[in-house]
Chain A
Amino acid sequence: MAHISASVYTSHVPAIGAALDLGKSHEAYWEPVFKGYEFAKQWEKEQKPDVVFLVFNDHATAFSLEMIPTFAIGTAAEYTPADEGWGPRPVPKVIGHPKLAAHIAQSVIQDDFDLTIVNRMDVDHGLTVPLSLVFGQVDAWPCPIIPFAVNVVQYPVPSGRRCFMLGKAIRKAIETFDEPLNVQIWGTGGMSHQLQGPRAGLINREWDNAFLDRLIDDPDALSRLPHIDYVREAGSEGIELVMWLIARGAMNDTDGGKKPTVRHRFYHVPASNTAVGHLILENN
Protein backbone atom coordinates (compact mmCIF):
# COMPACT_ATOMS: atom_id res chain seq x y z
CA MET A 1 0.00 0.00 0.00
CA ALA A 2 1.05 3.61 -0.49
CA HIS A 3 2.01 5.68 2.55
CA ILE A 4 2.88 9.27 3.44
CA SER A 5 6.43 9.38 4.76
CA ALA A 6 6.81 13.10 5.37
CA SER A 7 5.35 16.57 4.92
CA VAL A 8 7.29 19.56 3.65
CA TYR A 9 6.25 23.19 4.05
CA THR A 10 7.64 26.19 2.21
CA SER A 11 6.90 29.69 0.96
CA HIS A 12 6.80 30.23 -2.80
CA VAL A 13 7.83 33.85 -3.51
CA PRO A 14 8.11 34.52 -7.30
CA ALA A 15 11.31 36.56 -6.81
CA ILE A 16 12.99 33.41 -5.47
CA GLY A 17 12.32 31.73 -8.80
CA ALA A 18 13.64 34.77 -10.65
CA ALA A 19 16.79 34.86 -8.47
CA LEU A 20 17.50 31.20 -9.28
CA ASP A 21 16.69 31.50 -12.97
CA LEU A 22 18.88 34.61 -13.37
CA GLY A 23 21.81 33.08 -11.45
CA LYS A 24 21.56 35.46 -8.47
CA SER A 25 21.44 32.81 -5.74
CA HIS A 26 24.92 33.68 -4.46
CA GLU A 27 24.20 37.37 -4.05
CA ALA A 28 24.30 38.58 -0.45
CA TYR A 29 20.55 39.31 -0.51
CA TRP A 30 19.61 35.77 -1.59
CA GLU A 31 22.30 33.59 -0.06
CA PRO A 32 20.62 33.24 3.37
CA VAL A 33 17.37 32.18 1.70
CA PHE A 34 18.94 29.38 -0.31
CA LYS A 35 21.10 28.26 2.59
CA GLY A 36 17.89 27.43 4.43
CA TYR A 37 17.07 24.83 1.76
CA GLU A 38 20.39 23.01 1.57
CA PHE A 39 19.21 20.47 4.12
CA ALA A 40 16.05 19.75 2.11
CA LYS A 41 17.98 19.11 -1.10
CA GLN A 42 20.25 16.56 0.57
CA TRP A 43 17.38 14.99 2.52
CA GLU A 44 15.31 14.52 -0.64
CA LYS A 45 18.18 12.63 -2.26
CA GLU A 46 18.04 10.16 0.61
CA GLN A 47 14.25 10.03 0.85
CA LYS A 48 13.65 9.35 -2.85
CA PRO A 49 9.89 9.96 -2.80
CA ASP A 50 7.89 8.17 -5.51
CA VAL A 51 5.28 10.93 -5.67
CA VAL A 52 4.83 14.42 -4.23
CA PHE A 53 1.27 15.57 -3.51
CA LEU A 54 1.80 19.32 -3.80
CA VAL A 55 -0.76 21.68 -2.25
CA PHE A 56 -0.34 25.11 -3.81
CA ASN A 57 -2.24 28.08 -5.11
CA ASP A 58 -2.61 29.50 -8.56
CA HIS A 59 -2.12 33.29 -8.90
CA ALA A 60 -4.55 34.26 -11.65
CA THR A 61 -2.64 32.08 -14.09
CA ALA A 62 -4.54 28.86 -14.82
CA PHE A 63 -7.71 30.15 -13.18
CA SER A 64 -9.00 33.60 -14.12
CA LEU A 65 -12.30 34.87 -12.72
CA GLU A 66 -14.12 32.66 -15.22
CA MET A 67 -13.87 29.73 -12.83
CA ILE A 68 -12.71 29.72 -9.22
CA PRO A 69 -12.51 26.18 -7.84
CA THR A 70 -11.97 26.04 -4.08
CA PHE A 71 -10.09 22.73 -4.27
CA ALA A 72 -8.79 21.37 -7.60
CA ILE A 73 -6.84 18.15 -8.07
CA GLY A 74 -4.65 17.68 -11.14
CA THR A 75 -5.21 14.29 -12.75
CA ALA A 76 -3.27 15.04 -15.95
CA ALA A 77 -0.19 13.22 -17.26
CA GLU A 78 1.82 16.45 -17.38
CA TYR A 79 1.72 20.19 -16.71
CA THR A 80 3.59 23.01 -18.41
CA PRO A 81 5.27 25.83 -16.43
CA ALA A 82 3.18 28.93 -17.12
CA ASP A 83 4.07 32.27 -18.66
CA GLU A 84 2.99 34.66 -15.91
CA GLY A 85 3.84 37.70 -17.97
CA TRP A 86 7.62 37.59 -17.56
CA GLY A 87 7.97 34.47 -19.78
CA PRO A 88 7.79 30.86 -18.51
CA ARG A 89 10.38 29.81 -15.91
CA PRO A 90 13.14 27.67 -17.45
CA VAL A 91 12.29 24.65 -15.32
CA PRO A 92 11.39 21.07 -16.25
CA LYS A 93 7.90 20.06 -17.24
CA VAL A 94 5.91 18.68 -14.32
CA ILE A 95 5.01 15.02 -14.75
CA GLY A 96 1.79 13.96 -13.01
CA HIS A 97 0.60 10.69 -11.53
CA PRO A 98 -2.86 10.30 -13.08
CA LYS A 99 -3.53 6.90 -11.53
CA LEU A 100 -2.92 7.93 -7.93
CA ALA A 101 -4.56 11.32 -8.50
CA ALA A 102 -7.72 9.70 -9.86
CA HIS A 103 -7.76 7.31 -6.90
CA ILE A 104 -7.45 10.21 -4.45
CA ALA A 105 -10.22 12.16 -6.23
CA GLN A 106 -12.54 9.14 -6.08
CA SER A 107 -11.86 8.56 -2.39
CA VAL A 108 -11.86 12.17 -1.17
CA ILE A 109 -15.07 13.12 -3.02
CA GLN A 110 -16.80 10.12 -1.47
CA ASP A 111 -15.52 11.45 1.84
CA ASP A 112 -17.62 14.62 1.27
CA PHE A 113 -14.91 16.95 -0.11
CA ASP A 114 -16.18 18.21 -3.45
CA LEU A 115 -13.01 18.50 -5.50
CA THR A 116 -12.80 19.95 -8.99
CA ILE A 117 -10.93 17.64 -11.33
CA VAL A 118 -8.45 19.31 -13.65
CA ASN A 119 -7.01 17.60 -16.70
CA ARG A 120 -5.38 20.64 -18.25
CA MET A 121 -3.55 23.31 -16.27
CA ASP A 122 -0.39 25.35 -16.62
CA VAL A 123 1.41 25.64 -13.30
CA ASP A 124 2.76 28.94 -12.02
CA HIS A 125 5.40 29.94 -9.44
CA GLY A 126 3.14 28.70 -6.66
CA LEU A 127 4.06 25.17 -7.74
CA THR A 128 7.43 25.54 -9.44
CA VAL A 129 9.22 27.69 -6.84
CA PRO A 130 8.74 25.10 -4.05
CA LEU A 131 10.01 22.42 -6.46
CA SER A 132 13.12 24.50 -7.25
CA LEU A 133 13.78 25.24 -3.58
CA VAL A 134 13.48 21.66 -2.40
CA PHE A 135 14.85 19.73 -5.40
CA GLY A 136 17.28 22.38 -6.68
CA GLN A 137 18.07 23.24 -10.28
CA VAL A 138 17.65 19.92 -12.05
CA ASP A 139 17.11 18.73 -15.63
CA ALA A 140 14.04 16.74 -14.62
CA TRP A 141 12.04 16.70 -11.37
CA PRO A 142 12.99 13.49 -9.53
CA CYS A 143 9.43 12.14 -9.26
CA PRO A 144 5.86 12.63 -10.44
CA ILE A 145 3.88 15.46 -8.83
CA ILE A 146 0.15 15.69 -8.13
CA PRO A 147 -0.76 19.39 -8.15
CA PHE A 148 -3.55 20.30 -5.75
CA ALA A 149 -4.72 23.89 -6.18
CA VAL A 150 -6.51 25.79 -3.41
CA ASN A 151 -8.32 29.08 -3.94
CA VAL A 152 -6.71 31.63 -1.66
CA VAL A 153 -7.17 34.57 -4.07
CA GLN A 154 -10.89 35.33 -3.78
CA TYR A 155 -12.48 35.40 -0.33
CA PRO A 156 -13.81 33.51 1.35
CA VAL A 157 -11.04 30.95 1.00
CA PRO A 158 -11.55 27.55 2.67
CA SER A 159 -11.20 27.64 6.46
CA GLY A 160 -8.17 26.24 8.22
CA ARG A 161 -10.44 23.61 9.75
CA ARG A 162 -11.75 22.51 6.36
CA CYS A 163 -8.18 22.26 5.06
CA PHE A 164 -7.07 20.22 8.07
CA MET A 165 -9.97 17.77 7.70
CA LEU A 166 -9.28 17.51 3.97
CA GLY A 167 -5.70 16.53 4.79
CA LYS A 168 -7.01 13.64 6.86
CA ALA A 169 -9.18 12.48 3.95
CA ILE A 170 -6.21 12.69 1.56
CA ARG A 171 -4.13 10.52 3.88
CA LYS A 172 -6.90 7.92 4.03
CA ALA A 173 -7.09 7.95 0.23
CA ILE A 174 -3.34 7.54 -0.23
CA GLU A 175 -3.19 4.68 2.26
CA THR A 176 -5.79 2.73 0.30
CA PHE A 177 -3.85 2.93 -2.97
CA ASP A 178 -2.72 -0.51 -3.96
CA GLU A 179 0.93 0.17 -4.85
CA PRO A 180 3.84 0.50 -2.40
CA LEU A 181 4.52 4.19 -3.04
CA ASN A 182 6.51 6.54 -0.81
CA VAL A 183 4.41 9.72 -0.96
CA GLN A 184 5.28 13.15 0.41
CA ILE A 185 2.71 15.87 0.94
CA TRP A 186 3.80 19.50 0.65
CA GLY A 187 1.99 22.56 1.93
CA THR A 188 3.15 25.81 0.33
CA GLY A 189 2.65 29.59 0.35
CA GLY A 190 2.96 32.17 3.14
CA MET A 191 4.32 33.15 5.54
CA SER A 192 3.31 36.67 6.59
CA HIS A 193 3.08 39.07 3.66
CA GLN A 194 0.83 41.69 2.16
CA LEU A 195 1.19 42.72 -1.46
CA GLN A 196 -1.54 45.35 -1.71
CA GLY A 197 -2.64 48.69 -0.35
CA PRO A 198 -0.91 51.14 2.00
CA ARG A 199 -0.19 48.29 4.47
CA ALA A 200 1.88 46.39 1.85
CA GLY A 201 5.15 45.06 3.21
CA LEU A 202 3.67 43.83 6.48
CA ILE A 203 5.71 41.11 8.19
CA ASN A 204 4.94 39.52 11.55
CA ARG A 205 7.90 37.48 12.70
CA GLU A 206 6.46 36.65 16.11
CA TRP A 207 3.15 35.45 14.69
CA ASP A 208 4.87 33.37 12.01
CA ASN A 209 7.05 31.58 14.53
CA ALA A 210 4.07 30.93 16.80
CA PHE A 211 2.30 29.48 13.74
CA LEU A 212 5.24 27.12 13.15
CA ASP A 213 5.25 26.07 16.82
CA ARG A 214 1.53 25.33 16.79
CA LEU A 215 1.68 23.60 13.41
CA ILE A 216 4.21 21.20 14.90
CA ASP A 217 2.67 20.70 18.34
CA ASP A 218 -1.04 21.36 18.15
CA PRO A 219 -2.33 21.53 14.57
CA ASP A 220 -5.84 20.61 15.64
CA ALA A 221 -6.17 23.80 17.70
CA LEU A 222 -4.35 25.86 15.06
CA SER A 223 -6.81 24.70 12.43
CA ARG A 224 -9.60 26.49 14.34
CA LEU A 225 -7.96 29.89 13.87
CA PRO A 226 -10.43 32.14 11.99
CA HIS A 227 -9.54 33.82 8.67
CA ILE A 228 -9.52 37.28 10.21
CA ASP A 229 -6.56 36.37 12.43
CA TYR A 230 -4.47 35.47 9.39
CA VAL A 231 -5.50 38.66 7.56
CA ARG A 232 -4.99 41.01 10.49
CA GLU A 233 -1.80 39.47 11.86
CA ALA A 234 -0.05 37.97 8.81
CA GLY A 235 -1.29 40.25 6.01
CA SER A 236 -3.92 39.80 3.33
CA GLU A 237 -1.72 37.31 1.45
CA GLY A 238 -0.68 35.53 4.66
CA ILE A 239 -3.99 33.67 4.34
CA GLU A 240 -2.09 31.28 2.03
CA LEU A 241 -0.96 29.54 5.22
CA VAL A 242 -4.27 27.63 5.40
CA MET A 243 -2.72 25.40 2.73
CA TRP A 244 -0.10 24.21 5.21
CA LEU A 245 -2.93 22.71 7.27
CA ILE A 246 -3.86 20.33 4.45
CA ALA A 247 -0.37 18.81 4.54
CA ARG A 248 -0.33 18.80 8.33
CA GLY A 249 -3.75 17.12 8.48
CA ALA A 250 -2.35 14.24 6.44
CA MET A 251 0.24 13.26 9.07
CA ASN A 252 -0.24 10.11 11.19
CA ASP A 253 -0.67 11.86 14.54
CA THR A 254 -3.91 13.56 13.48
CA ASP A 255 -5.54 10.15 13.55
CA GLY A 256 -4.11 8.52 16.67
CA GLY A 257 -0.59 7.88 15.33
CA LYS A 258 2.72 9.06 16.72
CA LYS A 259 3.91 12.67 16.62
CA PRO A 260 6.11 13.47 13.63
CA THR A 261 9.80 14.30 13.98
CA VAL A 262 10.89 17.83 13.09
CA ARG A 263 13.78 17.27 10.67
CA HIS A 264 14.30 20.88 9.67
CA ARG A 265 12.98 24.32 10.49
CA PHE A 266 13.94 27.59 8.83
CA TYR A 267 12.69 31.18 8.88
CA HIS A 268 14.03 34.22 7.10
CA VAL A 269 12.94 37.79 6.33
CA PRO A 270 12.76 39.01 3.62
CA ALA A 271 12.46 37.51 0.19
CA SER A 272 11.11 40.46 -1.76
CA ASN A 273 7.87 41.30 0.12
CA THR A 274 7.60 38.08 2.06
CA ALA A 275 8.67 36.14 5.16
CA VAL A 276 10.05 32.75 4.16
CA GLY A 277 9.18 29.73 6.29
CA HIS A 278 10.22 26.14 5.74
CA LEU A 279 9.61 23.01 7.76
CA ILE A 280 10.12 19.27 7.27
CA LEU A 281 8.16 16.78 9.36
CA GLU A 282 8.77 13.03 9.13
CA ASN A 283 6.10 10.53 10.05
CA ASN A 284 6.90 7.99 12.75
Chain B
Amino acid sequence: MSLDKPYMDVPGTTIFDADKSREGYHLNQFCMSLMKAENRTRFKAGERAYLDEWPMSEEQKQAVLDRDLNRCIQLGGNIYFLAKIGATDGKSFQQMAGSMTGMSEEAYRDMMVKGGRSIEGNRYTGEKK
Protein backbone atom coordinates (compact mmCIF):
# COMPACT_ATOMS: atom_id res chain seq x y z
CA MET B 1 0.00 0.00 0.00
CA SER B 2 1.34 3.40 -0.87
CA LEU B 3 1.80 6.07 1.76
CA ASP B 4 -0.50 9.04 2.03
CA LYS B 5 1.18 12.13 0.55
CA PRO B 6 -1.43 14.88 0.65
CA TYR B 7 1.15 17.50 -0.36
CA MET B 8 1.51 16.33 -3.98
CA ASP B 9 -1.06 18.84 -5.26
CA VAL B 10 0.53 21.97 -3.78
CA PRO B 11 1.63 24.02 -6.81
CA GLY B 12 5.30 24.87 -7.37
CA THR B 13 6.31 22.96 -4.27
CA THR B 14 8.33 19.80 -3.70
CA ILE B 15 8.19 18.30 -0.24
CA PHE B 16 11.49 16.84 0.90
CA ASP B 17 10.23 13.57 2.31
CA ALA B 18 11.98 10.28 3.04
CA ASP B 19 11.73 9.16 -0.61
CA LYS B 20 13.20 12.41 -1.92
CA SER B 21 15.89 12.26 0.75
CA ARG B 22 16.92 8.79 -0.38
CA GLU B 23 17.07 9.94 -4.00
CA GLY B 24 19.07 13.04 -3.13
CA TYR B 25 21.37 11.61 -0.48
CA HIS B 26 24.67 12.05 -2.34
CA LEU B 27 23.63 15.34 -3.92
CA ASN B 28 22.84 16.78 -0.50
CA GLN B 29 25.95 15.33 1.12
CA PHE B 30 28.04 16.89 -1.68
CA CYS B 31 26.43 20.24 -0.78
CA MET B 32 27.21 19.61 2.87
CA SER B 33 30.90 19.16 2.02
CA LEU B 34 30.94 22.82 0.91
CA MET B 35 30.64 23.84 4.56
CA LYS B 36 34.45 23.47 4.67
CA ALA B 37 36.49 26.32 3.20
CA GLU B 38 39.09 23.98 1.65
CA ASN B 39 36.32 22.05 -0.15
CA ARG B 40 34.80 25.28 -1.47
CA THR B 41 38.21 26.18 -2.90
CA ARG B 42 38.65 22.78 -4.51
CA PHE B 43 35.11 22.83 -5.95
CA LYS B 44 35.61 26.29 -7.45
CA ALA B 45 38.95 25.24 -8.96
CA GLY B 46 37.33 22.37 -10.86
CA GLU B 47 33.61 21.81 -10.43
CA ARG B 48 33.28 18.76 -12.68
CA ALA B 49 36.25 16.96 -11.10
CA TYR B 50 34.94 17.67 -7.61
CA LEU B 51 31.44 16.42 -8.50
CA ASP B 52 32.96 13.25 -9.98
CA GLU B 53 34.23 12.36 -6.51
CA TRP B 54 30.58 11.84 -5.49
CA PRO B 55 28.34 8.91 -6.50
CA MET B 56 25.71 11.31 -7.88
CA SER B 57 23.70 10.74 -11.06
CA GLU B 58 24.75 12.52 -14.23
CA GLU B 59 21.49 14.52 -14.10
CA GLN B 60 22.28 15.67 -10.57
CA LYS B 61 25.81 16.73 -11.52
CA GLN B 62 24.54 18.63 -14.58
CA ALA B 63 21.86 20.39 -12.51
CA VAL B 64 24.54 21.57 -10.07
CA LEU B 65 26.82 22.74 -12.90
CA ASP B 66 23.84 24.62 -14.40
CA ARG B 67 22.89 26.02 -10.96
CA ASP B 68 19.37 24.90 -11.83
CA LEU B 69 17.92 24.74 -8.33
CA ASN B 70 14.47 23.61 -9.44
CA ARG B 71 16.04 20.66 -11.25
CA CYS B 72 18.24 19.92 -8.20
CA ILE B 73 15.10 19.81 -6.04
CA GLN B 74 13.33 17.50 -8.51
CA LEU B 75 16.31 15.18 -8.23
CA GLY B 76 16.18 15.01 -4.44
CA GLY B 77 18.02 18.16 -3.39
CA ASN B 78 16.85 20.07 -0.34
CA ILE B 79 16.99 23.84 -0.26
CA TYR B 80 18.95 24.05 3.01
CA PHE B 81 21.64 21.82 1.53
CA LEU B 82 21.54 23.52 -1.88
CA ALA B 83 22.04 26.83 -0.06
CA LYS B 84 25.66 25.75 0.51
CA ILE B 85 26.22 26.02 -3.26
CA GLY B 86 24.71 29.51 -3.14
CA ALA B 87 26.98 30.45 -0.27
CA THR B 88 29.97 29.19 -2.26
CA ASP B 89 28.84 31.39 -5.17
CA GLY B 90 28.29 34.36 -2.83
CA LYS B 91 24.50 34.41 -3.32
CA SER B 92 22.00 35.41 -0.66
CA PHE B 93 19.06 33.22 0.27
CA GLN B 94 16.76 35.71 -1.41
CA GLN B 95 18.71 35.48 -4.66
CA MET B 96 18.53 31.69 -4.50
CA ALA B 97 14.81 31.57 -3.73
CA GLY B 98 14.10 34.14 -6.43
CA SER B 99 16.07 32.16 -9.02
CA MET B 100 13.51 29.34 -8.81
CA THR B 101 10.50 31.52 -9.60
CA GLY B 102 11.31 32.65 -13.12
CA MET B 103 11.31 36.25 -11.88
CA SER B 104 14.20 38.69 -12.07
CA GLU B 105 16.06 39.35 -8.83
CA GLU B 106 14.59 42.85 -8.69
CA ALA B 107 11.03 41.74 -9.42
CA TYR B 108 11.25 39.07 -6.72
CA ARG B 109 12.59 41.52 -4.17
CA ASP B 110 9.82 44.00 -5.04
CA MET B 111 7.20 41.30 -4.65
CA MET B 112 8.52 40.52 -1.16
CA VAL B 113 8.58 44.18 -0.14
CA LYS B 114 4.95 44.45 -1.27
CA GLY B 115 3.92 41.60 1.00
CA GLY B 116 5.08 38.48 -0.82
CA ARG B 117 3.40 36.05 -3.18
CA SER B 118 -0.33 35.88 -2.53
CA ILE B 119 -1.87 32.63 -1.35
CA GLU B 120 -4.88 33.27 -3.59
CA GLY B 121 -4.69 30.93 -6.57
CA ASN B 122 -1.65 29.20 -5.08
CA ARG B 123 -3.20 26.52 -2.88
CA TYR B 124 -3.90 23.72 -5.38
CA THR B 125 -2.36 22.67 -8.68
CA GLY B 126 -4.57 23.78 -11.55
CA GLU B 127 -6.52 26.21 -9.37
CA LYS B 128 -7.74 29.31 -11.19
CA LYS B 129 -5.82 32.44 -10.28
Contacts and interface: CB of A to CB of B under 8 A. Distances in A.
A85 interface: yes
Contact of A155 (B16, B29, B81, B96): B16
Interface of B, helix, strand, loop or mixed by DSSP: helix
B119 A204 contact: yes
A173 interface: no
A203 B18 contact: no
A20 B97 CA distance: 21
Interface of A: 14-15, 18, 29, 59-61, 64-66, 83-86, 153-156, 192, 194-207, 226-228, 231-233, 235-237, 269-270, 272-273, 275
B63 interface: no
A156 B7 CA distance: 11
A201 B78 contact: no
Contact of A273 (B87, B112, B119): B112
Interface in B72-129: 73, 78-81, 83-84, 86-88, 92-94, 96-98, 100-102, 108, 111-113, 115-119, 122-124
B35 A84 contact: yes
A198 B97 contact: no
Contacts of A227: 7
Contacts of B50: none
A214 B98 CA distance: 32
B87 A228 contact: no
Contact of A196 (B25, B79, B118): B79
Contact of A197 (B73, B84, B93, B118): B73
Chain B CB count within 10 A is highest, among A153, A194, A237, A272, for A194
Interface of B: 6-7, 10-18, 21, 25, 28-29, 31-32, 34-35, 40, 69-70, 73, 78-81, 83-84, 86-88, 92-94, 96-98, 100-102, 108, 111-113, 115-119, 122-124
Contacts of A272: 92-94, 112
A126 to B, nearest CB: 10
Given A85-B88, A197-B14, 11 more contacts: A18-B92, A29-B113, A60-B78, A85-B40, A153-B80, A155-B15, A155-B17, A202-B122, A272-B92, A272-B112, A273-B94
B93 A273 contact: yes
29 contacts: A14-B93, A60-B78, A60-B84, A64-B28, A65-B29, A65-B32, A66-B29, A85-B86, A153-B78, A154-B17, A154-B18, A154-B78, A155-B7, A156-B18, A196-B13, A196-B97, A197-B100, A198-B70, A198-B100, A198-B101, A200-B101, A203-B112, A203-B117, A203-B119, A228-B6, A232-B7, A269-B115, A272-B94, A273-B93
